[in-house]
Amino acid sequence: MAAHKNKTLATLLAAVLGGVGAHRFYLYGSRDKWAWLHVLLFPLSVFAGFLEALVIGLTPDEKWDGQHNAASGRQSSSGWPLVLLLVLTYGGGAIALIAAIARVFDLLYTGGAYG
């Protein structure tokens, strides 16, 4: 019997450590090429981690179990912790994106005079 992959844990790993591909290593192991690409492109893949956290968290439990838990013999039952994690991930991703846009405009129009 295969190990059961927890959707909430995968979402948390993607939100917090998505830049280094921790969620990909958790789901697919060390042979996953995309996980190693996350490690190589760390600064760029932080935003990808936020997006992947939202995709993982918003995947219906039935589809999640079909993709990752077909042989585990258990069914996922996501609840309020996942919902709260998704709200925090969305907010954190929005703040990070706004900060990145502000920094680009600062560098572009003032030459970095404000930071």
Domain limits, the chain? 7-110
Our measurement of the distance from residue 94's CA atom to the centroid of its chain's CA atoms, rounded to an integer in Å, reads: 14
Helices (H), the chain: 7-17, 22-28, 33-40, 42-58, 61-68, 80-110
Question: Residue 1 pLDDT more than 80?
Answer: no
DSSP reduced 3-state for 78? coil
Q: How far apart are the first and last CA of the chain?
A: 54
Percentage of the chain modeled with pLDDT above 90: 84
Give the mean model confidence (pLDDT) for residues 11-29: 96
